[in-house]
Amino acid sequence: MRSEKEKMLAEGLYNPGDAELVSIRKNARKLVREINQTHEDEYEKRATLVKQLFGGHKKAVYVEPPFHCDYGENITVGDNFYANFDCIMLDVASITIGDNVMFGPRATLCTATHPIDAAVRNSDVELAKAIHIGNNVWFGANVTVNPGVSIGDNVVVGSGAVVTKNIPSNVVAAGNPCKILRDITSEERAYWQRQHQEYLEECK
């Protein structure tokens, strides 16, 4: 027989009151509290705590407090990850984030969901669907990603978006519900590379 944790991670119905899951959540709350109580200059301490909380990480990880999550161990982030104030990750199922990803303030990633049928929902079972985010993704403020969504590489998601469906790579998307606005063009990339080069020249 599978454990409730195994059922949860398999994206099936599970009981959140299971003792093992309660224990993992309590440990996560402790680490989250310590992260959120770090002082403004305790960058290394905060990064160490975040890496203890997350299930997987690479080198550079920066989380601006306050931060909140359910389990922590179901979150995997790539290198050069940045989350601004008030980031929430309900990591009941896995949340996988690539390299060079930046979240604006109040980004919310919700893998958790509930049965549509009220009688089943009221029986205290829940379920979740994994979220996947690619490399080089930028969220504006107040972006919400719903359960089961995948976002490709090099995507910009505009402020206030509610992402209910998958988003392919190399696009700008926004809105509620979130929709693709346009592709990111080679001309646009060239423009920003010129701007960056001018900035570097001025800094010499």
Count of residues for the chain?
204
Evaluate whether 98 touches 136 at the Cβ level (below 8 Å).
yes
Q: Report how far apart, in Å, the C-alpha atoms of 26 and of each of 29, 55, 115 are.
A: 5, 15, 25
**H/E run at residue 110:** strand 108-110
Closest CA to 72 of 105, 95, 104: 95
Is 196 one of the catalytic residues?
Answer: no
Taking the C-alpha atoms of residue 60 and residue 202, their distance in angstroms, rounded to an integer, is 27
Sorted by sequence, the CB contacts under 8 Å of residue 27 that are 6+ apart come out as 72
Angle among Cα 131, 137, 142 to the nearest 5 degrees reads: 75
Annotated catalytic residue: which of 39, 114, 132, 196?
114
Residues that are catalytic = 114
